[in-house]
A and B are shown apart, each in its own frame.
Chain A
Amino acid sequence: MNRIEEKFKTLKDKKEKALVGFVTAGDPDPETSESIVTAMCENGVDILELGVPFSDPTADGPVIQRSSARALKAGMRLAGVLEITRRLRKSSEVPIILFSYYNPIMAYGVDRFYKDSLSAGADGVLVVDLPPEESGELTSGWKDDKFCLIRLAAPTTPEDRMRMIAQNASGFLYMVSMTGVTGSGGLDTTEIGDYVEKLKRFTDVPVCVGFGISTPSDVAAISAIADGVVIGSAFERTIEENIENPDIASIIGKQTQAYKDATR
């Protein structure tokens, strides 16, 4: 069993849903970023998603675009993200998913990426712009199920395609809550409930919902219909508002706790 599977099993026993927390690694700078993600892990995040900054994040809204730009400016690159992963892994068993566009991974080298991610202690990767049609070139050299490719389904995904995606899933499935970029507003829990239910017909892999979830009450609403909740832009907004604040890590820690409470 890999760390992600173990995590969902534990959560199931405790009758809790998963809090998946996303931040861009290196935002606002490598050091502060490390204290932020450490605080997230210590305050109840069940799965950590570490964003690899990219110059042209076409699937992201303004908040994550700006976080990516700050992290790049502060010198963060894929190797640095793996370094943060490696250090976190020394003190925490929280599953870590790398979150990236494909080009930085290609430039790093797909085989080297797989090897180095595993040795750093990462548990998987979500590549935003790598649909199943193209993902073979990344995963063809993967040897076992220790490292997962997290796949996405969207509200526009038709049912037969959902089946194809679900049947290839590993770790968990990421159900995008709305037709839009990250950080958009307007959750429709009835609609989302339908998508999740459809996906679950095709697989036993847990389904987490992300995009546009920002308050503990959103988290509670999604927890009622899915196996986990992904929060990204809301954390990034807090980082942006507290860039100069020395208490930034503990503020993020408290925010994490509030979300985690809503999953119970």
Chain B
Amino acid sequence: MSENRAQNTQKPGTNIFGWPDQMGHFGTYGGRYVAETLMPALLELDTAYRKYVLDESFQKELYGLLKDFAGRPTPLYHAERLSKKTAGGAIYLKREDLLHTGAHKINNTLGQSLLAKHMGKTKVIAETGAGQHGVATATAAAFFGMECKIFMGTEDIRRQAPNVNRMKLLGAEVIPVESGTGTLKDAMNEAMRYWVSTVRDTFYVIGSVAGPHPYPAMVRDFQKVIGEETRRQATEQIGRLPDHLVACVGGGSNAMGLFYPFLNESIRMTGAEAAGRGIETGKHAATLCAGTLGVLHGSKSYLLQDEYGQIKEAHSVSAGLDYPGVGPEHSLFKDFGRVEYVSITDSRALEAFEVLCRTEGIIPALESAHALAAAMDIAANTPADYVIVVNLSGRGDKDLGIVEEVAGA
């Protein structure tokens, strides 16, 4: 039968730079695996994204928003007491928790909403797990005067209640999703269904470096400001680049944002996935550590799935990491060994959560606590002049209920 230009043109194994290609592939990963109804919208978005990303006035406008509205740059902070406690490498925290709305997610939602505005869209939708992306989208929508609907699983609505109230205050409609386990995957399913029906006038603000092309590349480009700032700050504050970067990986956006500007430096990078109750229990969200190749939510990447290609339910105490997929570019980094992916259990993340509260007076998001736990492991085995930068992707106010619940259990 006849076939078109659809053949994958990439040569797996050539290099890790310069992806995605024109078709949105990162090596064998990525792409656009969506219903035809959505394809024209993705092509339109790709065109708009290419046009504006290179456009200086757009960049300037976004930079202004990030600075004056969101609070960039965020500090690079030497956590001396934490470092002393682990008695090893020097731990620095990239304080994304200090951003407006309390997490790195706002970098991306301001970028996408500004793009939506330039494309003439007046309605935005988003999925959310921890509620941080939902809050950040609702905030951007309020700022730009757009109508906003947020899809959130019922279990996440329960465990991240403060964020639900914040979204409502900001004027967003929160749509509860009951299917599956009522977590991030189910919210994303429902957001995609809603988008299929409303695609003509609605912009879908995806919250991580996941989803169909151009989202993984676009969200990366909106988040790479984290790594760019870190480069500058490290050079100013310690006179050199760090030795090691650490970030948690749910969909992978805060990790990608920190890592990307350092890709061609000889710097080690570690991504911390959620091991939930332990990989061996099957109740985890460690997609890169324990997953296999598949297609979910529009892109090809590592996935948690059974031998029949049915998606497995992820498990993590942290709603933002409770997702069975991962951004396609991380899959590429894993195959190249460019980033080392480790997994941190619920209980180790909770421990790290507490340690940071007590030693530094900073309450981290449970997501970020996974990165902290991984960083403390690294610090424990490195000398005092070994500089480790941890992306403290969010603050933990939203998690107080769940932490109390787990502590009481």
A residues neighboring B (CB under 8 Å) = 54-61, 65, 72, 77-78, 101-108, 128-137, 139-140, 142, 144-145, 148-149, 151-158, 161, 164-165, 167-168, 170, 176, 179-181, 184
Contact = CB atoms under 8 A, between A and B. Distances in A.
A156 B199 contact: yes
Contacts of A129: 33-35, 295, 298
B36 A142 contact: no
A103 B37 contact: no
A58 B303 CA distance: 16
A180 B202 CA distance: 13
B297 interface: yes
Interface stretch (B4-12, B142-150, B338-346, B361-369): B4-12
Contact of A139 (B1, B33, B39): B1
Contacts of B37: 59, 154-156, 176, 179-180
Contacts of A144: 1
Nearest to B311: A55
Contacts of A65: 179
B282 to A, nearest CB: 15
Nearest to B179: A65
Interface of B: 1-8, 23, 31-41, 179-180, 185, 189, 192-193, 196-200, 293-298, 303, 305, 307-311
A181 B305 contact: no
Nearest to A151: B36
A114 B159 CA distance: 45
27 contacts: A54-B309, A56-B185, A56-B297, A58-B193, A65-B179, A103-B294, A103-B296, A104-B309, A107-B307, A129-B34, A129-B295, A131-B33, A131-B34, A133-B5, A133-B32, A136-B8, A152-B36, A154-B35, A157-B39, A164-B4, A167-B2, A168-B2, A170-B2, A176-B36, A176-B37, A179-B197, A180-B196
Given A105-B309, A157-B39, A137 B8 contact: yes
B196 A181 contact: yes
Contact of A107 (B2, B7, B305): B305
A103 to B, nearest CB: 4
A77 B309 CA distance: 9
Contact of B33 (A54, A102, A157, A176): A102
A173 B93 CA distance: 55
Contacts of B200: 156, 179
A59 B3 contact: no
Contacts of A54: 309-310
A135 B33 CA distance: 9
A104 B199 CA distance: 26
Nearest to B307: A107
A102 B31 CA distance: 13
A262 B352 CA distance: 67
Contact of A134 (B32, B180, B294, B308): B32
Given A56-B311, A134-B32, A179-B199, A107 B294 contact: yes
A164 B5 CA distance: 10
Given A142-B1, A161-B40, A179-B200, A107 B35 contact: no
Contacts, number: 146
What 3 pairs across the A-B complex have the smallest Cβ distances?
A107-B309, A136-B6, A104-B309
Tell which of B1, B4, B180 has the most Cβ of chain A within 10 Å: B1
B30 to A, nearest CB: 10
Given A102-B295, A107-B294, A136 B309 contact: no
B310 A181 contact: no
B310 A58 contact: no
Interface centre among A55, A135, A136, A180 (most CB of B within 10 A): A55
B196 A145 contact: no
Given A155-B37, A181-B197, A106 B293 contact: yes
A157 B196 contact: no
A131 B299 CA distance: 12
A89 B7 CA distance: 32
A55 B296 CA distance: 10
A77 B199 CA distance: 32
B29 to A, nearest CB: 12
Contacts of A137: 6-8
Nearest to A178: B197
Contacts of B189: 56-58
A155 B199 CA distance: 11
Nearest to A153: B36
A55 to B, nearest CB: 4
Nearest to A154: B37
B296 A59 contact: no
Most buried by A among B5, B308, B311: B308
A56 B191 CA distance: 12
Contact of B39 (A60, A102, A131): A131
Given A58-B297, A170-B1, A179-B37, 16 more contacts: A55-B311, A56-B297, A58-B193, A77-B308, A102-B33, A106-B294, A131-B39, A132-B6, A133-B5, A136-B7, A137-B6, A156-B38, A156-B39, A165-B36, A168-B3, A181-B197
Contact of A103 (B3, B185, B198, B309): B309
Contacts of B310: 54-55, 72, 77, 104
Nearest to A155: B37
Contacts of A57: 189
A109 to B, nearest CB: 10
Nearest to A53: B310
Contacts of B309: 54, 78, 103-108
Given A56-B296, A181-B196, A134 B3 contact: no
A23 B7 CA distance: 31
Given A104-B308, A156-B199, A161-B39, A135 B294 contact: no
A132 B4 contact: yes
A136 B199 contact: no
A134 B295 CA distance: 11
B36 A133 contact: no
Contacts of B185: 56
B10 to A, nearest CB: 11
Contact of A58 (B40, B41, B192, B198): B192
